[in-house]
A and B are shown apart, each in its own frame.
Chain A
Amino acid sequence: MAIKFMDPHDVPQIPGTEGWERMYPYQYHFTKDDPERAAYESNQIWYYDGLHYPEPHYPFDLIWDEAWYLALSQFNTRHWLVPPANGIDHRIVNGYVYISPVGVENPEDIPKRVPHFQERAGFYFQNWNDLYEKNWKKKVGNVIEQLEAINFTDLPEMEDISVIKEGIGKGSGYEFLKKYDKLIDLGLESWQYHFEFLNLSYAVQVNFFQTMNQLFPGIPMATLTKMSAGFDPILFRPDAELIRLAKLALEIGCEELILKPLKADELMKALAEDSIGKIWLQELERIRYPWFHISVGTGWYHTHISWNDNLEIPFDNIRTNIRAIKAGKTLGRPTDQILKERDRIATEYRALLKTDADREAFDQGLNLARLVLPYAEDHNFYIEHWFHTLFWGKVRQIGQVLTNAGFFGDADDIWYLRRDEIKQALWDLCTAWATGVKPRGPSYWPKEIDWRKGVYEKFKEWTPPAALGTPPEVVTEPFTIVLWGVTSDVLKTWLKGGEEDGGDPNELQGSPGSSGIAEGKARVLKSVDQLVDLKEGEILVATTTSPSWAPAFVKIAGAITDVGGPMCHAAIVCREYGLPTVVGTGKGTQFIKTGDLIRMDGDTGKVTILQRA
C-alpha cells in the first residue's frame, strides 16, 4: 500500500494561536486559495526539518531558512541544472519548517539538462581547488570583513559637526536604514556562497554512497565517512587552539592564575597585569579572531552565541584542559593516526574487490568524495559559526537601539519580528527621530510581541508531525538523499510516529552516529554552560554539540543529539573516542529527562528508557 501522510491543509490550528501566520512570510503558508497551488501542495511530500530546527522558528531567525530556500534551490535548478532535480520548497506549520524536494516535472526536460550539467558541474570539478581555496575563501572573507565593520548605535541628538563641515549631506537615520539593508544583504550573500559548492558536494556524496553500497551492500555510513573524511577539519581548530593555550600556560607558568575562579573579564585584567600572564593573553587575543567565533550550537538560532560572545566558555575549557594535562592525560586529536586509519580502511576495502570495473568505480567514487570533503566539512565554520555569530551580535545591537527608543522591553524582543517588520520599525524610529516626534512603535510592538511570545510557547509544546502529503516514487534531490536520508524505511518510521502516536512510550528512534551500546544515567544539557553538571559515565543528551562541548567527551559513556547526521560533530568526535552515539532523534532533549536510566544503541539508533528518574 502506498504511504500517505496527513494532507498539509488539514493540520489543526493550535487553540490560542489564531493569526500566527503573520509571524512569517505569506508564501510559507499552506493555503487553498489557489486550487492549482493547493493540489501541488497535497501531492508533494513535506517533511519537518528537525535536522536543523529542533525548535519552532523565531520570526527573525527564519532569515537563514529563507536564505537557503533561495540558494540551495537556485543552484540545483538554475546554476547546475541537476538533470532530474529542481529545488527544495518550504512551508511553515505552527512555527515549524517543512520542506519538500521538487523534481523536474516533464521527463523530456531531463536529457536536455544533461549536457548543461556536464559542462557546468564539470567546470567546477576540474577547477575545484582553485575555485574553493582562492576564489571562495576570498569572497567569504570579504563578506565577513564588511559585516564586522557594521555597527548600530542610538541615533544622535544632533548630527556631528563633521557632517556639516565635510559637506556629507546625508543623515544618521538614512545611514541606519541603509546599514540595516546592508546587514541583511550580507547575510543573504554569505548564504549564496554557502551553497556555491554544496550541491555538487552532495551529488558527489550520493554517488560515493551508492557506488560503495553496490560494491559492499550495507556498508555503514560511519565507514564511508572514515574512508573519505578530511583528517583535520577546520571545525576542530578552535578546540585545538584551547589545548594549545592550556599547554602554553603550563609551559610559561601562568596556569595557577588561570585556574583561579575568576570571571572572564576579571581574569583577563589580572593576566594583563601579570608579566607572564600578559604574554599568554596576547596569544589568546591573537587566536580568538577567528577561532573563538565558533558557535555553542549549530548557529541556526540567535541563541547560539559564540565563545567571543561569552568568554567564560573557552576559559572553562582551558581550565579543564590544564587540569587534564596536569593529571597526565593526552589531549587533542591524533591526526596522524586518523590519516593512517583512513588510508588503511580504504586500502583494505579496495583489496576486497575482484574486478577491474569494480576497482575503477571505487577509485572514481572515493577520489571525488575526497576532493569535495574539505569544503563539505569546513564551510560551516565560515558561515554558520563565524558569520552567523557575528551577525546575531549586530542584530542584537539593533534590538538595543529599539529598546532604548521604547519599542521593546528587552533587546531580545527583536527576534519576534520578521526582518521586514524590523525595517518598518526602523523607518518608524528614523522618521520620528527626524521629525522630533514620538514614534508609534512603543505603543504598537510591546503588545504584539507579548502575544507572539505566548504563541511561540504554544508552538514549543506542540509536536510537529514528521511528514505531510504524498511521497514521490523516487527521490532524486541530492540533499534529500544524503542530508535528510529520506528512504522508504524512513518514511515508514515517520508514518508510525505520526499516526500511532509515537509507538512505545519508552523508545526513541534516531540515526546511528557511532557504533556501540551504552547504558547509564542521562544528563540532558540544553546549553554548553551546563557542562559543569555533567558527571563521569553519564550519557549526554543535547540538542547538538559543537567544539565548545569538547570537555564533555572525555567524561561521557555515550551521546544522544536531537539534530545531526552521521557527519555531525557529535558523531565524528564520538567515533574518535570510541563512544556510542545516536544522532538526529528530533526530540531527545524533551523525551529524556536528566537521571533517567537509559540504554542507547549506536548501531541501530534506538534509545530505550529503562527507568524513569
Chain B
Amino acid sequence: MGDKDKRYILWYDEMEGADFPIVGKKNSNLGEMIKAGIPVSHGFAITIYANDQFLVLTGIKEEIEKQITSLGKVTYETAKQASAIAMNLIEKAKMPEIIEREILDNYKKLCDQTCMSACPVAVRSSGAVSMPGQMETYLNICGENDLIDYVKKCWASAYNTEAIMYRMNKGMPFLFNIGVGIPKMVNSRVSGIIFTINPINGDPSKISIDASYGLGEAVVSGLVTPDTYLIDKVTFDIIKTTVGSKETMCVYKDEGSDIVQKDVPEEKRGVSSLSQQEIKELARIGKLIEQYYGKAYDIEFGIDADYPFPENIIILQVRPESVWSKKEVEAKVEAKKDPMDRLLSTLLAGVKIK
C-alpha cells in the first residue's frame, strides 16, 4: 500500500498524532497512545479518504450537493430537511465493493486475533475537527453485514441536524467526511478507574485503582462498592487492598448495545477482582500516562477476558484529573530553622492515642 492518505484502512498501531487529518482526532490519539506504550483496544480506522471515496464511487456526493443547494437559506427547518436527505442517501447507498472488501478483510484479521467468527466491535466516529458528542458511536456490533451497515450509519451521523447547524455556525462546508474507528469491544471481565494520585487527599505518590466485575458503568455510576487498591507510585508496592461488596455487574444484552445488570456470583464477591500482577501493571500504565501527558490523569480501563495477561489490559479513556490539579500548591510541612529544630518538634509532638 502506498501513502497513508490514499488508504482506506489504517490500524491503530500504524498511526500517530499527526495523522488526524487522515483518520480523525479520536483515532490518531489512539495511535499516539500506542506509540507511547499505552495499551488501547486492538482495532483499525476507516480513513476520511474512504468516506470521501464512498460518496464519490456511489455517486451520492453530487446528489447531496444538488439537493442541498435547492433548499436555499439556512434555517433550523432547512437544516432538518438537509439532514434527512443526506442521512437517507448515505444509509441507503450500497457500499462500494473495493471499500467493503478492505473493511471486511481487516475485520477478519481482528476476528482471527481473538479466534472469533464475528468479533464484537465498536463503530466510533472520529472527525478531524473536534465536534464534541455530535456524531454517533455504536457499540457491540457483530458480523460483516452489521458492520457495513453501521459504518454507513456512522458516516451518516455527521449529517444529523446538530452537526449540520454546528458546522454552518462555524462557516464550515456542508459536506464533512469523517474517520471511523473499529476497535474490538473489550470483553470486560473487570473494569474500573485509575487515578494517578490518591483521590482522597491529592497525594501524588500514590496510584489508586477502583475495579469491579463487568463493564465500567457499574463503577462509574456507583452501582457497586468496587475493590479499591492503593499503590506506591515509585515502588509499585501495593499498599492497601480493600475488597468491595461488588453484588452486581453491568454487561451488554446479547448482541446489542443495551446494558443490563446481572448478579455477581456469591463466591466472586468477597475476593479481589484483580490479580497482583494486573494491579501492578495497571499502576505502571497509569504512571506512564501521567508521565506522557505531564499531569495527573483519571483513566478508565478494562480487563479483556479474550486476551492473556498483559495484553488483556486495555485503556478505554483518559482525562486530566480535575479536582486536586486545580488546588493551589501549599507546603505540607512547617518550615524549620535546621534539622535539629525539626527533630525536636517531632519528638515534642509524639503520637496521639485515642
**A352 touches which of B204, B334, B353 (Cβ 8 Å):** B204
A81 to chain B: closest CB distance in Å?
11
Q: Given contacts A355-B331, A357-B333, A603-B240, are A122 and B350 in contact (CB under 8 A)?
A: no
Nearest first, the 9 A-B pairs at minimum CB distance are: A476-B350, A357-B331, A515-B237, A216-B205, A355-B331, A364-B339, A361-B333, A207-B346, A474-B350
Tell me whether B352 and A473 are in contact (CB under 8 A): yes
A383 CB within 8 Å of chain B:
no
Residues 345-359 of A contacting B (Cβ, < 8 Å): 345, 348-349, 352, 354-358
A125 at the interface (CB under 8 A from B): yes
Instruction: Kindly identify, within residues 238 to 261 of chain B, every residue whose CB is under 8 Å from any CB belonging to chain A.
Output: 238-241
A residues touching B (Cβ–Cβ < 8 Å)? Answer: 2-3, 82-85, 110, 114, 117-118, 121-122, 125, 203-204, 206-207, 210-211, 214-220, 222-223, 226, 344-345, 348-349, 352, 354-358, 360-361, 364-365, 367-368, 471-476, 478, 481, 486-488, 491, 515-517, 601, 603-604
Residue interface mask B189-225, A partner, CB < 8 A = 1: 0000000001001011110000000000000000000
Report chain A residues within 8 Å CB of B350: 84-85, 474-476, 481
B79 contacts A by Cβ under 8 Å:
no
Do the beta carbons of B331 and A487 come within 8 Å of each other? no
- Closest chain A residue to B345, Cβ basis: A207
* CB nearest neighbor in B for A215: B332
User: CA A210 – CA B352 in complex, angstroms?
Assistant: 12
- 1/0 per residue, CB under 8 A from A, across B317-354: the answer is 00000000000011111111011101110111111111
- Whether B353 lies near A473 (C-beta < 8 A) is yes
**B344 surroundings in chain A (CB, below 8 A):** 83, 114, 117-118
Residue ID in chain B nearest A226 by CB atoms:
B235
Considering the complex, give the chain B residue whose CB is closest to the CB of A125.
B340
With a cutoff of 8 Å between Cβ atoms, the chain A residues found around residue B198 in the complex are 217-218
Return 28 A-B CB contacts under 8 Å, by A number.
A2-B354, A83-B347, A85-B347, A117-B344, A206-B346, A207-B346, A210-B349, A218-B230, A220-B235, A222-B235, A222-B237, A223-B235, A349-B205, A352-B233, A354-B329, A355-B330, A357-B331, A357-B334, A360-B335, A367-B339, A368-B339, A474-B350, A476-B351, A487-B353, A488-B352, A488-B353, A515-B237, A603-B238
Q: Is the CB of A83 within 8 A of B352?
A: no
Tell me if B234 counts as interface (CB < 8 A to partner A): yes
Tell me how far the C-beta of B298 lies from the nearest C-beta in chain A, rounded to whole angstroms.
Answer: 18
- Does the CB pair A121–B340 fall under 8 Å? yes
Contact (Cβ within 8 A) A218 B340: no
B343 touches A215 (CB 8 A): no
B203 with A207: CB separation less than 8 A = no
Beta-carbon contact of B347 and A478 below 8 Å? yes
Contact B342 A475 (CB under 8 A): no
Residue B232 at the chain A interface, CB threshold 8 Å? yes
Partner of A220, one of B237, B330, B334: B237
Decide: B241 and A604 in contact? CB cutoff 8 A: yes
Picked from A345, A475, A488, the residue with its CB within 8 Å of the CB of B234 is A345
Given A82-B347, A487-B353, 6 extra CB contacts under 8 A: A84-B350, A344-B234, A352-B205, A364-B338, A364-B339, A604-B240
Complex interface residues of chain B between 262 and 310 (CB less than 8 A to chain A): 276
Q: Is A364 a contact partner of B234 (Cβ separation < 8 A)? A: no
CB contacts (< 8 Å) of A114 on chain B: these are 344
Q: Which chain A residues lie closer than 8 Å to B346 at the CB level?
A: 206-207, 210-211
How distant is the Cα of A207 from the Cα of B351 in the complex, in angstroms? 11
Docked complex Cα distance between A345 and B332 (Å): 20
Residues in chain A near residue B352, CB distance under 8 A: 473-474, 488
Contacts of A515 in B (CB 8 A): 237-239
Q: Establish whether residues A214 and B333, one from each chain, have CB atoms under 8 Å apart when the complex forms.
A: yes
Q: A3–B332 Cα gap in the complex (Å)?
A: 31
Evaluate contact between A486 and B333: CB separation under 8 angstroms. no
| Cα separation A173 to B349 with both chains bound (whole Å) | 55
A137 to B338, CA, bound (A): 29
A474 to B239, CA, bound (A): 26
Contact residue among B239, B330, B354 (Cβ-Cβ distance under 8 Å from A603):
B239
B204 engages A211 (CB within 8 Å): no
Point out which of B330, B344, B346, B349 has the most chain A C-beta atoms below 10 A from its C-beta.
B346
Point out the residue from B205, B333, B348, B354 that lies within 8 Å of A219, measured CB to CB. Answer: B205
State whether A211 and B353 are in contact (beta carbons under 8 Å apart), knowing that A218-B203, A357-B335 are contacts in the complex: no
Please judge, given known A-B contacts A357-B335, A365-B342, whether A474 and B205 are in contact too, CB under 8 Å: no
CA distance in complex: A487, B350 (Å): 10
Q: Give Cα A122–Cα B338 distance, bound, in whole angstroms.
A: 11
Point out the residues of chain A lying under 8 angstroms from B336, CB to CB: 361, 364
Closest beta carbon of chain A to B223's beta carbon, Å: 26
Alpha-carbon gap, A214 to B233, bound state (A): 17
- Chain A: CB-nearest residue to B241: A603
